[in-house]
């Protein structure tokens, strides 16, 4: 079987990159590295049963970074290209070398030593690249048909699409770091409208996997259910309520929290959680984990699993919050050196960017309470199924004012839809007022969420 990695990044290309690294060192560079990413994707889109679009694309790029020694640290220069057919890349490294003379000196810049190995299951599924056009179209049509079967109220399908892709990435450094990775992915999404008389609502759902094993009927049915749950919404009187967050909302919320744990933001005092290591920042029920080596399993695509991070460190499991206590920030080698702590192997990068902290597979540890039981505990509360504007949270203060919609809970049972809700408060209110966690851990790409019961949340309504 042909090597999938070399179908994207052949040995001849890798050899030219090594020659470029050697050239940078000959110019006087203290260090040099190349990061390359190549991918190809295919998509079939249907609308109301008819094929609307077929597309294919191929993307790729190379970024090189050169380190010039300074008095107390390094100056860096970067150069990029999307032309991977060049006979050599010495000119690109020479350009980065020249630019390094203009960069500020950084005393904390570090490079990884070679370590670890790719001992993880393959992230590449050959059946993805073997898919044919007719199959993609058929799956997109099946997705739409599944939504229509699930609900007679589906009035229109704006788009039902199947997408798949494959690719590879590689980091090379003068220290001998080499991190080959080949991967595949498949996704299906549907955007539809449901109607009840003159009332009409839009909804959307999606799922993703490394291989073509998506449950299209379930995706379509979920989109239809989301739409039905929004029909004929009522207004909610302003007041304080017990609130259940839907898993999809919890994903967004916990993603905001993880973003504030970026050590670079902490060092610049741009994070609510600066100076909070070892302190309680959330309910003792909440444990939040980022695991770059998470094993794939039923319901867990482990899309973020990789053997190395973007600086060449072997990935690892990082417990960010343990029983509500902040355990660590997310570090690159640079921020770990500046804070005097061990690296967390949390670097990500694009071919045109410097390494920055990221998450791989972010998830909370599941509770033991079913969603239905949470509704019962909420009594006469609200299930929040959608929050708009979480990206506007002030990262320093945690203050926020966001819109929301969901379903009224009456006597522990889901009742009528409610919309045009406003939550104005602080992120701490979400984190510290957790009184129960659901057992319904669900993955959305490389992040997972679950139902979360919060107490005494002020909601503005009509």
Give 222-273 as a 3 state SS string.
Answer: HHHHHHHCCCCCECCCCEEEEEEECHHHHHHHHHHHHHCCEHHHHHCCCCCC
In this prediction, residue 424 has a pLDDT band, given cuts at 50, 70 and 90, of confident
Query: Hey, how many other C-beta atoms are within 10 angstroms of the C-beta on 159?
Result: 18
Name the token pair of 292. Answer: 């770059």
- How far apart, in whole angstroms, are the C-alpha atoms of residue 462 and residue 300? 40
Is residue 400 within 8 A of residue 424, CB to CB? The reply is yes
- Integer-rounded Cα Rg, in Å, for the chain is 24
Query: Hey, how many other C-beta atoms are within 10 angstroms of the C-beta on 350?
Result: 15
**CA-closest candidate to residue 436, choices 241, 252, 286, 254:** 286
7-223 CATH: 3.30.2290.10
pLDDT, tens digit, 9 for 90 and up, residues 362-375:
999 999 999 999 99
- How far apart, in whole angstroms, are the C-alpha atoms of residue 170 and residue 37? 7
> With 80 as the cut, is the pLDDT of residue 462 above it?
no
Beta strand 382-388 pairing with 239-245: parallel
> With 60 as the cut, is the pLDDT of residue 264 above it?
yes
Q: Which positions ≥6 away from 132 have C-beta within 8 Å?
A: none
Is residue 417 within 8 A of residue 341, CB to CB? The reply is no
Is residue 446 within 8 A of residue 251, CB to CB? The reply is no
pLDDT, tens digit, 9 for 90 and up, residues 152-186:
999 999 999 999 999 999 999 999 999 999 999 99
Classify the phi-psi angles of 412: left when phi > 0, otherwise alpha if psi is within -120 to 50, otherwise beta: left
Structural domain spans, the chain: 7-223, 233-462
> With 70 as the cut, is the pLDDT of residue 1 above it?
no
The pTM assigned to this predicted structure is 0.95
Name the token pair of 280. Answer: 């309680």
Percent of the chain residues past pLDDT 90, beyond the cut: 95
- How far apart, in whole angstroms, are the C-alpha atoms of residue 451 and residue 433? 14
pLDDT, tens digit, 9 for 90 and up, residues 299-324:
899 999 999 999 999 999 999 999 99
In this prediction, residue 3 has a pLDDT band, given cuts at 50, 70 and 90, of confident
- How far apart, in whole angstroms, are the C-alpha atoms of residue 384 and residue 374? 13
Output the CA torsion 396→399→402→406 (10° steps).
110
Mean pLDDT of 395-416: 95
């Amino acid at each position: 079987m042909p090597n999938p990695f070399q179908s994207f990044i052949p040995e001849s290309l890798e050899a030219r990159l090594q020659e470029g690294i050697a050239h940078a060192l000959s110019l006087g560079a203290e260090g040099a590295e190349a990061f390359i990413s190549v991918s190809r994707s295919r998509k079939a889109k249907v609308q109301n049963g008819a094929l609307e679009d077929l597309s294919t694309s191929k993307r790729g790029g190379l970024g090189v970074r050169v380190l010039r020694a300074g008095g107390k640290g390094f100056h860096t220069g970067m150069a990029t290209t999307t032309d991977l057919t060049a006979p050599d890349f010495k000119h690109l490294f020479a350009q980065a070398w020249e630019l390094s003379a203009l960069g500020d000196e950084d005393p904390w810049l570090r490079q990884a030593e070679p370590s670890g190995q790719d001992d993880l299951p393959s992230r590449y599924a050959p059946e993805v690249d073997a898919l044919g056009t007719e199959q993609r179209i058929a799956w997109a049509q099946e997705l739409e048909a599944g939504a229509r079967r699930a609900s007679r109220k589906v009035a229109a399908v704006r788009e039902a699409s199947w997408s798949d892709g494959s690719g590879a990435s590689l980091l090379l450094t003068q220290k001998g770091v080499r991190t080959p990775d080949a991967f595949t992915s498949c996704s299906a999404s549907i955007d539809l409208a449901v109607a009840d008389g003159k009332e009409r609502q839009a909804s959307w759902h999606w799922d993703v996997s490394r291989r073509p094993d998506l449950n299209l009927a379930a995706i379509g049915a979920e989109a239809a259910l989301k739409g039905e749950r929004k029909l004929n919404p009522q207004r909610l009187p302003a007041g304080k309520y017990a609130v259940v967050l839907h898993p999809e909302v919890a994903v967004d919320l916990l993603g905001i929290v993880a973003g504030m744990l970026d050590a670079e933001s902490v060092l610049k005092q741009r994070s609510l959680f600066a100076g909070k290591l070892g302190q309680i920042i959330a309910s003792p029920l909440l444990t939040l984990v980022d695991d770059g080596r998470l094993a794939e399993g039923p319901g867990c695509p482990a899309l973020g699993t990789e053997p190395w991070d973007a600086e060449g460190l072997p990935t690892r499991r990082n417990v960010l919050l343990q029983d509500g206590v902040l355990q660590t920030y997310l570090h690159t080698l640079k921020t770990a050196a500046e804070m005097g702590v061990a690296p967390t192997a949390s670097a990500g990068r694009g071919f045109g960017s410097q390494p920055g902290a990221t998450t791989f597979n972010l998830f909370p540890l599941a509770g033991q309470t079913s969603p239905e039981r949470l509704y019962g505990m909420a009594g006469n509360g609200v299930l929040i199924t959608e929050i708009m504007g979480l990206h506007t949270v002030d990262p320093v203060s945690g203050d926020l004012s966001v819109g929301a919609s969901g379903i009224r809970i009456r006597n522990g049972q889901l009742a009528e839809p409610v919309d045009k809700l406003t939550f104005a408060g602080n992120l701490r209110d979400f984190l510290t007022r957790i009184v129960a966690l659901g057992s319904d851990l669900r993955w959305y790409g490389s992040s997972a969420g679950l139902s979360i019961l919060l107490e005494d949340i002020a909601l503005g309504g009509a």
